Chains A and B, each alone.
Chain A
């Protein structure tokens, strides 16, 4: 099993550009989520999904879209990149439909918006 795989690992965007961060898991986990990590602010929840076809907003959803067409994939779309979105992004998955078991994180994507 590969676990949770994120691509790309690094990305530089210009202000106003759009892009999609990919996340895939091969553990048949129902729960998937996206976090951003900024210095001194810990991990903040952007969006999450309790199963295919179901998504919901987290703490900081503005500027991001998600979809969950399959159990395996949970892409994060930046609609119009802004310097405030410079961060490290982590995707995570967890068995079950509720986040009350271990979360398995991807290796992260370091995004810089210039």
Chain B
């Protein structure tokens, strides 16, 4: 069935270090993989996305990689800052059913 698994559920890193969050998806037809950031009490907001014809995408300190063969995609945050503390969600599209499924979220904490 349609499923997106996300790990870890919680992550604590020292300020300035890197953070990596990993997701796997079940449908080989998925072609769109967004990442959302949700700060405490706020709505989720898109921070970066990648499509299946691209293996990697960067935007300043944030990068996403996609391995279609293994059905894995990952979020990399470098030089972490206190404002990176939030819950991060990965997601995958299921175009055969016109819907998108989210992972269970990763709570990232940045230690000063």
Contacts and interface: CB of A to CB of B under 8 A. Distances in A.
Interface residues of A, number: 26
Contacts, number: 66
Interface of B: 2, 6, 9, 31-32, 34, 36, 42-46, 49, 51, 89, 91, 93, 95, 97-105
B34 to A, nearest CB: 7
Contacts of B95: 98, 100
A48 B98 contact: yes
A103 B43 CA distance: 11
Nearest to A6: B43
7 contacts: A42-B105, A48-B98, A56-B99, A97-B98, A100-B51, A102-B49, A107-B42
A103 B46 contact: yes
Main secondary structure of the interface of B (DSSP, over half): strand
A27 interface: no
A79 B100 CA distance: 25
A68 B84 CA distance: 37
B32 A42 contact: no
A46 B44 CA distance: 17
B104 A45 contact: no
A35 interface: yes
A56 B34 CA distance: 22
B90 to A, nearest CB: 9
B46 A102 contact: yes
A29 to B, nearest CB: 14
Contacts of B98: 31, 48, 50, 56, 97-99
A42 B93 contact: no
Contacts of B105: 40, 42-43
Contact of B93 (A35, A99, A107): A99
Nearest to B41: A108
A106 B101 contact: no
Given A42-B89, A106-B43, 11 more contacts: A35-B102, A41-B104, A43-B91, A56-B98, A90-B43, A99-B99, A99-B100, A102-B34, A103-B34, A103-B44, A103-B46
